[in-house]
Amino acid sequence: MKRILCFLLLFSTYFSSTCVTNFENQKLIDELTQTGIYYYWNGGDLKKVEDEFFKGITLKGKYDVVEESFKKASSLDPNRLDLRFSVASTQIIQRKIPEALKTYEDIIKLDQNNFDARILHAGYSKMNNDMSVYNGDIAELKKINREKTEAYQKKFGYIEKVLTMKLNTKAVNQNADFIVTLGYALNDDGTMHEVLVKRLEQTYEAAKVNQNAKIIVTGGVQKGGITESYLMKNWLVEKGISKDRIIIEDKARDTVENTINSIQILKENNAKSIILISSASHIRRGIVLLQEAANSAGLNSKISNLVYLDYKTIDEAMAVSQNELLVIYRDLFRVSGIWAYPGIQR
């Protein structure tokens, strides 16, 4: 009887201790996750967060905080794959491609049938022109889900097509139903950046020759309580464009949300012909994302481009940098439904 009582006492002590440890770990994981995503959007005091969470680690920027937050959270619960995905996404943002690929490989070791980790690994390998790794990943992915894998192969193929598309610098009448103009971060004093004004100048020209087209101005990041889209509409109205033609989309915080939110409006209006307007350096990503969002929404529309040429020549604009290619792949995955920070941020 004494032995049984001793065993029960030891078990109770162990169980209680384990519960306390798990609770404390979960609390810290939650704090680290909240810190990571806060710094993702806002930045903050690097010294303060070093002292609170990362003693002995020198943080050089806000994404260091994000990466280290999710790394530490993952170390507390190594089996939580969402935390590992968040680490990899932050490594991608920082262009740490080898590190991100290694993180995806670690996820695959824990879950060999994890489609998202494998397709991310495949996509970034293809982006790096590592076709042997890409082909190996595709072979494994087809064992998991052939239909879904082939759908992603088509998405990757569409990227290749867009990389060589003609950039249109002059507005012409396309009998477009809609013009979609992507916003740009406002100046610190709440005024429009020159880049945004240049995009609006192209919007104005397109609106003049496509007289039946509605115009979506998209951008929801505020400065002084005013959004990009609000100022964009005002600028166009002041130039003589009827306010009845303009639709404000004021919730988007980045290009991914610009395209997803705009497609919702376009689908509601059964848009058939769309002109997307942005800077030449940004338009390829915009086209890929808008098309992906349209495909996901079941909207069959023709999408063309009109650009503000933010290069000296069109030849320079046609050259695609590795950094541009990276963000195209990164954001395609996000629009396709693979969240960068699972359960937290698309």
In a domain, 115, yes or no: no
Is residue 133 scored above 60 in pLDDT?
Answer: yes
For tokens 């100046």, name the residue.
187
How far, in Å, CA of 262 to CA of 107, rounded? 34
Residue type, 308: Y
115-127 vs 81-93: helix crossing angle, rounded to 10: 20
The answer to whether residues 71 and 184 belong to one domain is no
Residue 321 has pLDDT above 70, yes or no: yes
Predicted local confidence at residue 346, as pLDDT: 85
DSSP output for 42-105: H---HHHHHHHH-TT----SHHHHHHHHHHHHHHHSTT-HHHHHHHHHHHHHTT-HHHHHHHHH
Whole-angstrom distance, CA of residue 292 vs CA of residue 157: 12
Instruction: Answer whether residue 216 is part of any domain.
Output: yes
Write out pLDDT tens, residues 174-189: 999 999 999 999 999 9
Q: Which two tokens stand for residue 339?
A: 């969240």
CB 340: neighbour CB atoms within 10 A? 20
Query: H helices within 164-268, ranges in order?
Result: 194-209, 228-238, 255-268
Task: Clarify whether residues 73 and 205 are in a common domain.
Answer: no
State the Cα–Cα distance between residues 241 and 182, nearest whole angstrom: 17
Last residue of a domain, one of 77, 108, 143: 77
- Residue 156 placed within a domain: no
Instruction: Tell me if 158 is assigned to some domain.
Output: no
Residue 6: pLDDT over 70? no
How many domains does the chain fold into? Answer: 2
Q: How far apart are CA 253 and CA 260, in angstroms?
A: 11
Chain segment 160-169, per-residue pLDDT in tens: 999 999 999 9
Which pLDDT score is estimated for 311?
Answer: 96
The total number of residues shown for the chain amounts to 346
Residue 85 in domain: no
Domain assignment of residue 29, yes or no: yes
Q: If you search the block for the tokens 């007289």, which residue do you land on? A: 211
Q: Is the pLDDT of residue 9 over 50?
A: no
* Same domain assignment for residues 67 and 182: no
Mean pLDDT computed over 185-208? 97
**Domain end call among 77, 98, 115:** 77
Average pLDDT, the chain: 92
Residue 307 near residue 279, CB atoms below 8 Å: yes
Is 71 within the bounds of a domain?
Answer: yes
* Residues 343, 346: Cα–Cα separation, whole Å: 8
H or E, element range at 7:
helix 2-42
Distance CA(185)–CA(51), nearest Å, equals: 32
Q: Closest Cα partner for 88 from 79, 80, 99, 73? A: 99
Boundary (domain end) residue, out of 42, 77, 112: 77
Q: In what order do the strands lie in the sheet with 178-182?
A: 246-249, 214-218, 178-182, 273-279, 302-308
* Helix H or strand E encompassing 165: none
Query: The domain spanning residue 186 has which CATH number?
Result: 3.40.50.620
pLDDT digits (tens, 9 = 90+) for 325-343: 999 999 999 999 999 999 9
Per mean pLDDT, which range of 41-45, 129-133, 208-212, 286-290 is the poorest?
41-45
pLDDT above 90: percentage of residues in the chain: 84
Q: Is 247 a member of any domain?
A: yes
Q: Which three-class secondary structure state does DSSP give residue 135? A: helix
Name the residue range of residue 39's domain: 1-77
SS3 127: helix
Query: Which tokens is 10 given?
Result: 């030891």
The rounded distance, in Å, linking the Cα atoms of 229 and 232 is: 5
Residue 66 CB coordination number (10 Å): 26
In the 8-state DSSP scheme, what is residue 340?
Answer: S
Q: Please report the pLDDT score of residue 60 as a whole number.
A: 57
SS3 label, residue 167: coil
